[in-house]
């Protein structure tokens, strides 16, 4: 992956994380980012990556909705 490709993926991740951040209790952003990036690098589309990151945060880290 090139630096510009990685930068674009991080930007995409930030945009998708915003919705989760606004609807859940305080958490470490890097946990959501790691789950999302892992899914995207495993070739999931962005919608599936959002679901994977949300599931990780909710089921593994027990971050509650606000």
Among residues 54, 60, 44, the alpha carbon closest in space to that of 9 is found at 44
> Going by C-beta distance under 8 Å and a sequence separation of 6 or more, which residues neighbour residue 32?
17, 20, 21, 53, 56, 57
Measured between alpha carbons, how far apart are the two ends of the chain, in Å? 36
CA distance 32 to 37: 9
pLDDT number for residue 40: 97
pLDDT number for residue 5: 97
| Average pLDDT of span 7-13 | 97
Tens of pLDDT, residues 17-50: 999 999 999 999 999 999 999 999 999 999 999 9
- Entry pTM: 0.93
């Amino acid at each position: 992956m090139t630096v510009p490709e990685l930068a674009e993926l991080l930007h995409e991740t930030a945009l998708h994380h915003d919705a989760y951040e606004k609807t859940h209790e305080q958490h470490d952003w890097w946990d959501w980012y790691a789950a999302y990036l892992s899914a995207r690098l495993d070739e999931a589309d962005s919608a599936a990556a959002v679901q994977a990151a949300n599931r990780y945060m909710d089921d593994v880290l027990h971050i509650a909705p606000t």
